Structure 1
Amino acid sequence: MALHAELHRHLGGSVVPRILWRYFHRQGSPLAERFPTYPEFEDFYTRPRNTLEDYLELHTLVEHVQTLETLPYFIYRLLRGAYVFEDLAYLEIRYTPYLRTDPSLDEADRLKQMRQVIETVGQASQQQEYPIVTSQILCLHSRLPSHINRAMLEAAVESDYVCAIDLAGGDKPYRERMEEWIELYKYALARGLKTTAHLYETLDGCHPELLPYVSRIGHGIQIPLHYPELLPELARRGQCLEVCPTTYLKTGTLPSLDPLKIVFDRCFEAGVDIAICTDNAGLHNVRLPFEYENLLTHDIINFEQLKLCQEAAFRHAFAWPYKDRPASLLSELQQGVAAASLVALEA
């Protein structure tokens, strides 16, 4: 039975390296010539980078091949892996739809095509074979112009497949457009959308001005590490951190997992929830259960704290339609079976 919720997974970083390598070879991509054997591609694709900016450049490898025609192929394989290998019951898929439109079109037609992209992702996510509850988070992009971000927000408001917006693309450019981001986030909340943003992931992304307008905080690890005085306010608002452990090693943000113990300890003490996530499972070549196991084996958290994080993921999920998480439903089912068996024995 699927048991887990994943709140922070980018579509561009979700494709596991072997599937991507095979796709390049089947399509005769120039990257097939550059990487004739899989091991060298895996090493290139999954090795750590020095900075977040270097790391984000890898997304462009995938964005240009995730088109209207190929999105169902990638979505199917994402859901298959998530259901079979990760036991996911719930998945929020985030991406920038404009970057999946046809670059040969003029801008007006690309803006129209964004809605087709959202519809395609939504329909492809309705898999009977791998029944995961899914929803979309559209990523406004810090390097795209204002009118394109506004068009994406309007598309998010109009789509039943979208539950929230995000702000991604690198956190260094946030500052110069902060008034714009706040305006867009206020509008999103007023129209009934949930909100998250890549904030306090790195020391360049520490922008307290945006915190009041996010339902959840993408990463947010610099708050307990360097700004713990903000934690009581996060707890008061009921905001949850989306912590993605492997990311911080891949981007050079942390030298090891050890500082995450401070993150978890201070958040638990302050009453701030954490959902453990993968961020870019394909880029990292890891899956959500590995993130759990890695935190346990490095003594970052214990099993009781893991359970609290797993419960928090469902509690803060933007589109989980049930009151309880699957583990609770399974426990009720087991209790019912046990009671029925007892009645049968007594009879």
Structure 2
Amino acid sequence: MALYAELHRHLGGSVVPRVLWRYFERHTSELISRFANYPEFEEFYTKPRNTLDEYLELHTLVESVQTVETLPYFIYRLLRGAYIFENLAYLELRYTPYLRTPEHLSQSERIDKMAEIVEVVGKASQLEEYPIVTSQILCMHSRLPYEVNKAIVDLAAQSKQYVCAVDIAGGDSHYAERLEEWLNLYDYACSLGINTTGHLYETTAGCYTELLPYLKRIGHGIQIPLLYPELLPELAQRGQCLEVCPTTYIKTGTLQDIRQLKLVFDRCFDAGVDIAICTDNAGLHNVRLPFEYENLLTYDIINFKQLQACQDAAFRHAFAWPHGERPASLLNELLKPEPPKVLAMRD
């Protein structure tokens, strides 16, 4: 039964190792020629990295094969797994459409091709077989020029049938040298009525208070409660939600021990700041959302009541969830037993 919402999952990092290996075997075996077998590939694909930048390099492996022709293949398998194994009722997929266009084209030609990518992802995500409510978040990228990033914002505004928000990705340590650009782009997105989130305060190098007022949700944001708890009342006042992805911080070397997240959750709960628990890159991690829940409970980072609060927050802050309540509440009403019928007394 589908019960959960996933607010932070990258299309590039969502492909589980086995699916990616089979695709490479059938279509581009040269990309895996250096691996003797599947276990060796899986170990390479899912092992922890030393830094966020090193970790993000893995996205290029998948981006290179996620094209107009192949995206339906990957999305079908992604949604099948999300519905059957993760009990997802709602999924926001984020990615940079420009990076799915052919590299041999000019910049303007690639910009023109982005709309086709969004449409393909949107149509491929509508599966009667696996009825999950889906929407897309289009990611601007720290290593793309201003013209491309502005075109991504424009595309989001023109594609509200499929797109619910914009984001900035590419490693939060790279924003500083172009901070004025990001402020202008987010201001522009807000002026167009586009929802906003952004990879921010994930690492100690990605702390930019100037960007916070432009965001409805904060991608990761764990350094706020860890290093800048004085900002939490402002987040609570603005109704911002943190998208916390526990396994990511171990895989990127951002945290050394998952139990460091207890302070994140405790301070956010105390300040009234919502947290949605997410996977980020379920494929790269080889984990699913229920595992993230279980891990947090196992290490006594949160309790069951707090877990339920995070699950409720995920639906409350979902940009495109069409209902006023989460599925569990709707299901309770549906399954509520009818009162016994009172038979009329006969004379």
Q: Under a length normalisation based on structure 2, what TM-score does the superposition of the two structures give? A: 0.97
Q: In 1, Cα distance between the equivalents of 2:165 and 2:294?
A: 29
Alignment of 1:29-40 (within 5 A): 29-40=29-40
Call closer, same or farther: CA 1:183–1:128 in 2, change over 3 Å.
same
Moved more, 174-183 or 256-265: 174-183
Q: In 1, Cα distance between the equivalents of 2:152 and 2:32?
A: 33
Q: Deviations over 1:223-263 (max 9, x none)?
A: 00000000000000000000000000000000011110000
Q: In 1, Cα distance between the equivalents of 2:95 and 2:343?
A: 54
In the alignment, which residue of structure 2 is the partner of 1:180? 181
Alpha-carbon distance, 1:343 to partner:
2.9
Amino acid at match of 2:333: E
Amino acid at match of 2:200: L
Alpha-carbon distance, 1:61 to partner:
0.3
Q: In 2, Cα distance between the equivalents of 1:88 and 1:68?
A: 25
Q: Deviations over 1:73-110 (max 9, x none)?
A: 00101100000000000000000000000112122211
Call closer, same or farther: CA 1:345–1:53 in 2, change over 3 Å.
farther
In the alignment, which residue of structure 1 is the partner of 2:23? 23
Alignment of 1:51-90 (within 5 A): 51-90=51-90
Q: In 2, Cα distance between the equivalents of 1:4 and 1:87?
A: 6
Give percent identity, aligned residues only.
71
In the alignment, which residue of structure 2 is the partner of 1:248? 249
In the alignment, which residue of structure 2 is the partner of 1:258? 259
Alignment of 1:202-217 (within 5 A): 202-217=203-218
In the alignment, which residue of structure 1 is the partner of 2:220? 219
Alpha-carbon distance, 1:346 to partner:
10
Amino acid at match of 2:25: H
Question: Which of structure 1's runs of 4+ aligned residues deviate more than 4 A?
Answer: 344-347
In the alignment, which residue of structure 2 is the partner of 1:295? 296
Q: Which runs of 5+ in 1 are unaligned?
A: none
Call closer, same or farther: CA 1:346–1:183 in 2, change over 3 Å.
farther
Alignment of 1:89-238 (within 5 A): 89-159=89-159, 160-238=161-239
3-state DSSP of counterpart to 1:166:
strand
Q: Deviations over 1:136-160 (max 9, x none)?
A: 0000000111111111111111002
In the alignment, which residue of structure 2 is the partner of 1:5? 5
Amino acid at match of 2:319: F
- RMSD, matched Cα: 1.3
Alpha-carbon distance, 1:222 to partner:
0.3
Q: In 1, Cα distance between the equivalents of 2:174 and 2:33?
A: 35
3-state DSSP of counterpart to 1:343:
coil
Amino acid at match of 2:205: D
Amino acid at match of 2:195: K
Alpha-carbon distance, 1:28 to partner:
3.3
Alignment of 1:281-292 (within 5 A): 281-292=282-293
3-state DSSP of counterpart to 2:280:
coil
Q: Under a length normalisation based on structure 1, what TM-score does the superposition of the two structures give? A: 0.97
Alpha-carbon distance, 1:344 to partner:
7.9
Alpha-carbon distance, 1:29 to partner:
2.6
Q: In 1, Cα distance between the equivalents of 2:76 and 2:249?
A: 28
In the alignment, which residue of structure 2 is the partner of 1:239? 240
Q: Judge conservation of contact 2:125–2:134 (CA < 8 Å) in 1.
A: yes
Alpha-carbon distance, 1:217 to partner:
0.3
In the alignment, which residue of structure 2 is the partner of 1:268? 269
Moved more, 35-44 or 239-248: 35-44
In the alignment, which residue of structure 2 is the partner of 1:339? 338
Q: Judge conservation of contact 2:32–2:41 (CA < 8 Å) in 1.
A: no
